[in-house]
Amino acid sequence: MIIIGIDKQVLVTVNMYVNSMFSISEMNMDYSMSIFLRERWIDDRLKYDDTLNITRINLDSSMFNDVWMPDMYILNEKSSDYHEVMVTNKLIHIYPDGTIQHSARVTGSYSCLMHLQKYPFDTQYCKFEVESCKYK
């Protein structure tokens, strides 16, 4: 369904849990890690009455493409993949007030501009940056 003439911004909260960091490369100026990347937003179209005391709906993976998702991307990504061992490592919960929570396990390599003038006695600060590809 397309609604024309409505310019509504959606506030998306993003957080991540670092499962493991397994390489930092000074030569390639990157680092690799496995994370759980989570997004949370409200979609009023998915509100439901909690008459049966259902605290949340867990969507089956076959329905993931039927839910609107934010257009988040990782700015400093070199490469990454969703985990799909045995089953897809993603989940979507829908709460009575229309809140959507999406979580996915991602492993990737991310660029990090390193300043190596004092190598090996320096300190590096590597960012993990996400943003919307359509809205800045």
Instruction: Tell me the per-residue pLDDT of 64-101, one tens digit each, with 9 for 90 and over.
Output: 889 988 888 888 888 887 766 666 788 999 999 999 99
The total domain count for the chain is 1
> What CATH number does residue 65 fall under?
2.70.170.10
Give me the residue label for tokens 């985990």.
83
CA dihedral 36, 41, 56, 68 (to 10 degrees): -90
7 is a domain residue: no
At 69, give phi and psi (nearest 5°).
-125, 145
Tell whether 1 is covered by a domain: no
Domain that holds residue 93: 13-128
pTM of the model as a whole: 0.77
